[in-house]
Amino acid sequence: MRQFYNELTARDTEVVVLGPDSTDAFREYWARHDLPFVGLPDPSHTVLKLYGQQVNLFKLGRMPATVLVDKGGVVRLAHYGRSMGDVSSTEEVLAALDGLHDEPAQS
């Protein structure tokens, strides 16, 4: 995310990373890596479950997921990884965002 964060913000997009870690663990990780986007700890998995993120204990735990939600709260892209390396490509996310901006505004 860090590598193309500027491309995301140029498309009026905010990145929120959810994770199962505690607030203290998230704060420490964000400070250590100086991440430019929002990190939301979800140790009880409340939000992660709402978006359908899966857990596979045989594959190191929580599988990666990318969910693109528009300003109206509609999910526009959902990619649920089957392994830790199965993540959305930069091109896929940027294309989905560009598609949102190409849609006519609804009144």
Amino acid in the structure at residue 4:
F
**Which CATH number describes the domain made up of 2-101?**
3.40.30.10
- pLDDT, tens digit (0-9, with 9 covering 90-100), for 33-62: 999 988 888 888 888 778 777 665 555 566
Q: What is the model's pLDDT at position 103?
A: 61
The whole-model pTM stands at: 0.70
Q: Is the dihedral of CA 55, 5, 3, 88 positive or negative?
A: positive
Segments making up each domain of the chain, as ranges = 2-101
